[in-house]
Structure 1
Amino acid sequence: MISWRKHYKQTLIAIGLLLSTSASIYGQDGDPKNGEKLFKANCTACHALDKQVIGPPLKGVVERVKTEGGVDKDWLHKWIKDNKALRASGDKYANEIFEKFNKTEMLQFPNLTDKDIDDILAFTTNPPAVEEVKKDTGTATAADGAQAAPASNTTTSVVIISLLAIAALLVWILIKLRQLVKLGQSEDLAGLNETRVKSFSEIYEKYHYVGKGLLTILAILATYGIWNWIMWIGVYKGYKPEQPIYFSHKIHAGEQKIDCQLCHSSAKYGKVSEIPSMNVCMNCHRTISEYGANDYMEPGKDKAFYDGEIQKIYAATGWDPAKQQYTGKTQPVEWTRIHNMPDFVYFNHSQHVVAGEQAIINSFNKKNPTNKIDVVCKACHGKIDTMNVVQMANDFTMGWCIECHRTTEVDMNNGYNKEYFKNLHDKLKKQYPKDGGKITVDAIGGLECGKCHY
């Protein structure tokens, strides 16, 4: 009986030690996979694992603070939850870090639990292995070279055979010409030479009706060709030039869902939708120094290409990513303009984006039920959120604009139109009874020359 009790107690002690050890290990190490999610959600705005961004690199931070400051994970918990309070308490190491990083105030995270912080620290200690990105621009393998060699030999053979065939054809033509010359020198052609027409005037005199008809047709075709060529001067639908810094609207506006007006803010409040300054790019790319979303890559481009384009942004703005500060040495970016109205054309972006927004969207979706849009910008610029390289999506001719004004119904219920055209409603309804009171842009002066031309 005593022996049974003794073993029972030992078993309970062993189980207790096992549970406490497991709990301490879990609490100490945490869950790196969950820590990765928390790290991306809370830390990546200011930190990276392997390099300094706004704050220091966080890979191995637990061991580093232990070596540098002689502090443990409990100190890191206090620092992450409320570093300001920790510094205010007089903690020497906390204040040293604050001074070292230019007194940059770190955000406080009181919402993170102890387990959340343990998971993040576990991720910084043992981050999951990341698969190496395959580069499209790698060198060819030996097998590729072996396959390429026969293809090259075949091409050479085809070229040689073609040249020989052309040479044989030329020899045959020379022989035939020689025979014709001898034939011309014989007496058999003497009679034919006497009846042969000697000049163009004789041909014209003989067939002048046919000649006049052909000349008339040629003149009409030439006039039409010249007129058609003149009418399409300045129409560059499909134009998509290469820019000095690669910028994918598909990644930014499409995959990342960034609002057009975050970068092109004056489209809503001004006449011109300006090209955003590089400082707008730096609002995000100060902390995003490399490309990470491999699924969004354009075919033929690899991670190294995208990382290099981000470095061009840094060079243009004079940003030193290592020191996390501006050098003052900037470089202008010579963007190639795509959409450019002639000087004699007046077009106001804000008028269309604000007053005409819903009307334009409704009109476009009515005419294109299988290709609907959700943003007014797409009515003119196409589905920009699907374009890696921006191109001119429409003609932007006078006829194209007039057609839009004739078919786009004015939203008389929005605040601006309801007040401005209050006294015109009855008059316009009498003028357009066939449409059941529907008023299009041309009814309120949309076709007047002075609306678009100075």
Structure 2
Amino acid sequence: MTYLLKTHRFLPLLFGLLLLVGPVSAQNETADDPTAESVIEGDPVDSAADSATEPAPAGDVAAGEGDPALGAALWKENVCGSCHAANMASDMTGPALGGVEARWAGEPREHLYRWIQNSQRLIGSGESQRALALWSEWAPTVMSNYTNLNGSDIEHLLAYIDGIYTGSYNPAGQTIGPAVAEEADETDNTWLFIVLGGVLLVLSLILARVTSNLQYMVEAGEGAAPARRTLAQILTSKGMIAFVLFLVVVIGGYTTVNHAIDLGRQQDYQPEQPIKFSHELHAGIQKIECQYCHDGARRSKHSVIPAVNTCMNCHRAINYGSQYGTAEISKIFAAVGWDPLEGAYIENYDQMSNEQALGIYRKWIENRNYNEGVDVDDLEELIDEQVEGIYGALTNEYTGDNRVPGPIEWTRIHNLPDHAYFNHAQHVTVGKLKCQNCHGPVEEMEVVYQYSPLSMGWCINCHRETEVQFQDNEYYNSYERYHEEIQEGTRNAVTVEDVGGLNCQRCHY
């Protein structure tokens, strides 16, 4: 009887704690499960799946009133650049998007919304002549469905497309697609987990105290003379220490795995390089083909960093930059040992001391800038600054490289883990992908940054959605069944997934 009375004193507190934890957990589960409300109200769960094929709501942004900055974020979030050219003027996997509003002007604006949300549904309805014409031109390439976008989202996207195409929107110096607009609306449940953790901690202490009292009463009933354990003794007991150690191992393992997953995946990582090389100038303005410099991309696993000799193919003649004058080009000359005053490579340059090498380029910088009309009073300061820049760019105290003559140590931006296999030639030569599919609009980048997340999920989604260039491609001649199905009309396209692109061994050999 005494045993039961003492035990019952703790039951109201335990019951109250369980009531507190129960509603919070139920509320969280309901919020996380989009079908929970339908199930409670008696609607079939399948209705959620069925509604996914319906066009999204129109939204409250008027036609032509979209925000290009929000459109840039949506462009990046939905990976539109994997199929459409970033300049909006060139065809890629999908058509050029510049002027899309004008091309759809002959039909209700709703048709353009429906096309973006679910193109095949609009084609099947037969309501849009523009949709049928596009399908006739681009079949069997199927546009991905974006039923998550409402009319407002589409207006923002159209504003961004038009801004890039006409040049009216130019986020100079900004990363394309900065913070995603929806991120601000995401619910942060950190506080909830902290509260639940605190509740569970209190509950565990109460249960430990209950267990201690029960043990005391059992021993007292057996005629022993037990001593009550204090809270300090409970907290320092073997069981509590084992639990804390277990918690440390779990949290440490979770943190380690998360950091390991993120290794090399610094999206938007944009380090400074030893030489201020502008891709916007070279690939954008000058229209130099990516594979002219990164020639390994079409024939090997790596795209390779171009050798300085590749730079010299042009810079023997171009020795004064439009933006930096002699400052950056002199670094190239100093790395390879080119004497721009003599127009020839320097003999035994690799055996020269830093002082001898820098003396040659000091003289060159002085002559070239004097001829460009630099004020004599400013010339000495300019020479010292550029010579120091050459030394700083071509030496590295952290790696022990203290020699000016030698290779340029570029800072790596994209770095996949060793257990992930990626072959550039497979994607560029066989898959016919543009560099921009993964690296983004490099031709618009003054300083290159990591455009894509490079996560496993990102790669898998691409393999699921990307159609291979199957026709007239000798690499796929062995897939006879797929060729027959295409000829018979039972298959419209072949994705990377169809040819084994999701096999684990393809990427984790």
**Is the radius of gyration larger for structure 1 or structure 2?**
1
Specify the TM-score bucket, using the shorter chain as the normaliser.
Answer: 0.3 to 0.5
| Larger helix fraction of residues | 1
Q: TM-score, normalised by structure 1?
A: 0.43
